[in-house]
């Protein structure tokens, strides 16, 4: 069954409600965490929990998702979410 506003976490590949996920957005060359859910650009989603966030940081999942070198500052910002 398709539930509205579901998105897939890029780490665990499970579907969740958008509101339970962190959105990370690439717009032009700028990559940032979208706390407002309103930023322009291409977004990927990530569970807002320690497990998926730390895996994402360790394995640099965002580099793969965005096919580019994601700045450490983005991973740092993610790390702040779980500390």
Q: Which positions touch Zn ion (CB under 5 A)?
A: 9, 11-12, 47, 52
Given the complex with Zn ion, which of 12 and 77 has the nearer CB atom?
12
Q: How far is the CB of 80 from Zn ion (least distance, A)?
A: 18
In contact, 33 and 22? CB cutoff 8 Å = yes
Polymer length in residues for the chain: 83
Nearest to Zn ion of 25, 53 (CB atom): 53
Taking the complex as a whole, the smallest distance from the CB of residue 11 to Zn ion amounts, in Å, to 5
Task: Kindly tell me which of 28 and 58 has the beta carbon lying closer to Zn ion.
Answer: 58
HSE-up (13 A, CA, CB side) for residue 60: 10
């Amino acid at each position: 069954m398709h539930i509205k506003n579901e998105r897939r976490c890029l780490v665990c590949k499970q579907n969740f409600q958008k509101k339970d996920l962190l959105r990370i957005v690439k717009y032009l060359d700028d990559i940032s965490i979208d706390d407002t859910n309103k930023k322009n650009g291409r977004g990927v989603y990530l569970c807002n929990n320690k497990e998926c966030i730390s895996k994402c940081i360790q394995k640099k999942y965002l580099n793969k998702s965005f096919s580019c070198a994601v700045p450490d500052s983005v991973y740092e910002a993610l790390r702040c979410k779980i500390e």
